[in-house]
């Protein structure tokens, strides 16, 4: 038995008896300024993200936004990409991805965040190792606040969910804001309804 298995066995053996339901999630009223999508896009911008405008199709929009991208990995049917995610053996295999394209389970107006699920991103490291992340959001999937998001049934259906609020950023050294220090350098959202 490995040390990890030994520790996990001890934790399981010492679980308290009884039923311990999670606390009730309270939904606070949210001032969405009359338009939930604009509310989301505003807060997305505050967090360093931006909207990817799709006029002549998603492929054209991605090529226009990232003309030098050599490796595009897509987890959505709306864009082919040139990296087959079904052949990825190790998470680190995606270290050379320039642009990743995924679909969000939902988006949160309050924080400008997108919620990404394991089933939609295929390989978890895709949304962290890529240089640029494009997230498709159906405007009907935007919820007002985080409490609304936590009430989503998605939290009962997935082993892995992650909120992303803008690109990776840090400003803890001399107050200089750096994007892409520990994740994607840019995060763009394309408002595309589910097909």
Q: Where are the domains of the chain?
A: 3-191
Position 67 scores a pLDDT of: 97
Reported as a single tens digit per residue, the pLDDT across 149-190 is 999 999 889 999 999 998 888 877 787 878 777 889 999 999
CATH class of 3-191: alpha beta
Position 166 scores a pLDDT of: 87
Long-range contacts of 158-163 (CB under 8 A, 24+ apart): 158/117, 158/118, 158/119, 159/118, 160/117, 160/118, 160/124, 161/105, 161/115, 161/116, 161/117, 161/118, 162/115, 162/116, 162/127, 163/108, 163/111, 163/113, 163/114, 163/115, 163/116
Reported as a single tens digit per residue, the pLDDT across 27-82 is 988 888 889 999 999 999 999 999 999 999 999 999 999 999 999 999 999 999 99
Query: Is the pTM here over 0.85, yes or no?
Result: yes
């Amino acid at each position: 038995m490995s040390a990890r298995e030994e520790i996990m066995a001890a934790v399981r053996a010492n679980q308290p008896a009884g039923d311990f339901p999670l606390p009730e999630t309270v939904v606070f009223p949210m001032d969405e300024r009359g338009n939930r999508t604009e509310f989301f896009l505003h807060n997305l911008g505050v967090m360093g993200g931006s909207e990817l405008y799709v006029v002549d199709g998603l492929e054209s929009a991605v090529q226009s936004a990232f003309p030098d991208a050599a490796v595009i990995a897509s987890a959505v049917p709306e864009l082919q990409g040139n990296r087959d995610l079904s052949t990825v053996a190790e998470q680190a295999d995606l270290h050379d991805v320039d642009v990743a394209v995924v679909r969000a389970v939902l988006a949160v107006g309050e924080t400008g965040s997108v919620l990404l699920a394991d089933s939609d991103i295929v390989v978890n490291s895709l949304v962290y190792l890529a240089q640029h992340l494009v997230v498709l959001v159906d405007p009907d999937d935007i919820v007002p606040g985080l409490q609304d998001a936590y009430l989503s049934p998605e939290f009962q259906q997935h082993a892995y969910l992650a909120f992303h609020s803008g690109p990776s950023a840090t400003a803890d050294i001399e107050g200089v804001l750096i994007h892409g220090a520990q994740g994607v350098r840019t995060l763009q959202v394309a408002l595309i309804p589910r097909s």
